[in-house]
Amino acid sequence: MYFLVCYDVNTETKEGRRRLRRVAQSCKNFGQRAQKSVFELSLNQVEQQRLINVLVKIIDENEDSLRVYRIMEPKDKYIQSWGREMVIDLDKPVVL
């Protein structure tokens, strides 16, 4: 299943900047950055729940915002993109 994770973390304080780094790093552990605060992920149900549990523990619900969207499949039918494209197809092998 494909997901889009979007977040907005209040970075006016040192703790907020720390939360931002932790949220971004947690998302990187599960998927790839599509934009600064947006990640695309290919997850099964267990991985999805694990990521949500991690992120909900990090954010401050009074200061921050977190949204997780499921992308309908086939994803190419539902995703449109313009401009600089730096996202890797998660279904294809990656050659380093």
Domain residue extents for the chain: 2-78
**Tens digits of residue pLDDT in 25-43:** 999 999 999 889 999 999 9
Residue 8: which residues within 8 A CB-CB, separation 6 or more?
37, 64, 65
Question: What is the C-alpha separation between 26 and 74, in angstroms, rounded?
Answer: 26
CATH of domain 2-78: 3.30.70.240
> Residue 37's pLDDT is what?
94
Question: What is the C-alpha separation between 86 and 6, in angstroms, rounded?
Answer: 17
> Residue 83's pLDDT is what?
78
**Tens digits of residue pLDDT in 11-23:** 999 999 999 999 9
**Tens digits of residue pLDDT in 55-90:** 999 999 999 999 999 987 777 776 766 777 665 665
Residue with tokens 């954010």: 59
